[in-house]
Amino acid sequence: MELLNVVDVEATCWPGEPPVGALSEIIEIGLTVVDLTARTRVAKHRILVRPEHSTVSEFCTELTGLTQSEVDTGVSFAEACLTLTAEHDSANRPWASWGDYDRRQFERQCADAGVRYPFGDRHTNAKLLFSEANGSRRRHGMAQALRIAGLPLEGRHHSGADDAWNIAALVLDIAGRHPWRMTSPGPPRESV
């Protein structure tokens, strides 16, 4: 059994620049565990994260469906990172995301908060691999990639948990046609 964590995050966002003093912060971590050997999605998880330096805007609620009162029930970012490590073996298990946004958001937020980065250095940019597997130079968004692959979009687009589930379907589609590989290393594994 070869397990892979597929991760998608939602973060506080605005239609333009953030308000003065606000930072884009992770408010939801969606994670789907994929068994690459059995070619199946084996578990779907959702971690709500309470932002510390921003609030959920009306624009963000329209996009993600998440409200401020909902994320107020979440855990701190530090607790979310500990959960990823303890419950999902994120420091040791390879992981994938659609593009590099999720990896970079974790890197930035961990550095800003003084929190240990919860992932190891085996990351795959599934968006890049999908483009290569389809002989395209264009990097498609997840919803368009699902249409190209002939797969349904399950759940709500811009829900971290649902997007991770859908990205996992694309990962399995890619892995069924081409060898699965890492496309980019994560940051060095250092304690903060």
Mean pLDDT score across all residues of the chain: 93
Please check the confidence at residue 187 and state whether its pLDDT lies above 60: no
157 Cβ contact partners less than 8 Å away, ≥ 6 residues apart = 142, 143, 163
Domain boundaries, the chain: 3-185
The residue written with tokens 């903060």 in the block is: 192
Backbone angles phi, psi at 132, to 5 degrees: -65, -40
Please check the confidence at residue 8 and state whether its pLDDT lies above 90: yes
Reported in sequence order, the residue ranges of 64-134 that DSSP labels E, i.e. its strands, are 95-97, 122-125
Q: What is the DSSP string of 28-65?
A: EEEEEEEETTTTEEEEEEEEEB--SS----HHHHHHH-
What CATH superfamily is the domain 3-185?
Answer: Ribonuclease H-like superfamily/Ribonuclease H (3.30.420.10)
Q: Which helix (H) or strand (E) holds 167?
A: helix 160-177
Q: What is the pLDDT of residues 66-75, one digit of tens each?
A: 999 999 999 9
pLDDT at position 140 = 95
Confidence of residue 188 (pLDDT cuts 50, 70, 90): very low
